[in-house]
Chain A
Amino acid sequence: GQNIDQPTEMTATEGAIVQINCTYQTSGFNGLFWYQQHAGEAPTFLSYNVLDGLEEKGRFSSFLSRSKGYSYLLLKELQMKDSASYLCAVTDSNYQLIWGAGTKLIIKP
């Protein structure tokens, strides 16, 4: 079956760095997305990786290793507004998007 694993919850301190991991096992691979979802709101797109390596976008970076079926989202200089759920999603060979359950990130002052 298809499976995406992320930690359920993480806690970090304002100003610090946090890494949210995602491992996947899917039928084929056509890219991996990270989304941010604040409570009570719809998800918003953060990043897309299809090749191995690191993609940097301001305070957020996303890394992919296809051979390991692994990705992480790195958030630097954490701000209180970064408290949200972070969703990892993989596009499989049929271009279906398979969602992880999300990681709830709690930022403490």
Chain B
Amino acid sequence: GAVVSQHPSWVICKSGTSVKIECRSLDFQATTMFWYRQFPKQSLMLMATSNEGSKATYEQGVEKDKFLINHASLTLSTLTVTSAHPEDSSFYICSARDLSGEGRESQPQHFGDGTRLSIL
């Protein structure tokens, strides 16, 4: 089945550091990638949707200058948390979906394994 690789799986760093998370689709073209955040015992929160070659669409309340998203190719999207602070500590998950072609509505989102970010 479709595989999405997310790296790194775990990051611990000091406050003020910028952290980059990569999301790759390994065996399909991800026309659309999604970035989620999940706090402990809470549901998935969509942060932004990115389409290859265009600017990401951010959800209300998500700072685009804080969470920089780049989707430069059909297989790679990156999320950079700039000047991270302890309140940014969370579980970040990317997912990818191939929305090109017929039958696109039946294409599920395939998730990466997530990145656990801890800011000290």
Number of A interface residues in the complex (CB < 8 A): 21
Instruction: From A41, A42, A101, give the contact of B43 (CB < 8 A).
Output: A101
Q: Does B105 contact A (CB under 8 A)?
A: yes
Q: Which residues of A contact B104 (CB under 8 A)?
A: 95
Q: Which residues of A contact B49 (CB under 8 A)?
A: 96
Q: Does A48 contact B (CB under 8 A)?
A: yes
Q: A33 and B108: CB pair below 8 A? A: yes
Q: B105 and A30: CB pair below 8 A? A: yes
Q: Which residues of B contact A99 (CB under 8 A)?
A: 43-44, 46
Q: A102 and B43: CB pair below 8 A? A: yes
**Size category, B interface:** 20 to 34
Q: Taking chain A's interface residues, is the majority helix, strand, or loop, or is none over half, making it mixed?
A: loop
Q: A45 and B110: CB pair below 8 A? A: yes
Q: Which residues of B contact A48 (CB under 8 A)?
A: 106, 108
Q: Which residues of B contact A40 (CB under 8 A)?
A: 91, 116
Complex CA gap A81/B43 in Å reads: 20
Complex CA gap A63/B46 in Å reads: 26
Q: A87 and B106: CB pair below 8 A? A: no
Interface residues of B in 68-115 (CB under 8 A from A): 91, 93, 95, 97, 99, 104-106, 108-114
Q: Which residues of A contact B43 (CB under 8 A)?
A: 87, 99-102
Given A42-B6, A99-B44, 6 new contacts (CB under 8 A): A31-B105, A45-B108, A45-B110, A48-B108, A95-B105, A97-B97
Binding site for B on A (CB under 8 A): 30-31, 33, 40-45, 48, 50, 87, 89, 91, 95-97, 99-102
Contacts A/B (CB < 8 Å), 17 sampled: A31-B106, A33-B109, A41-B114, A42-B6, A42-B95, A42-B113, A43-B44, A45-B110, A50-B106, A87-B43, A91-B105, A95-B99, A95-B104, A99-B43, A99-B44, A101-B43, A102-B43
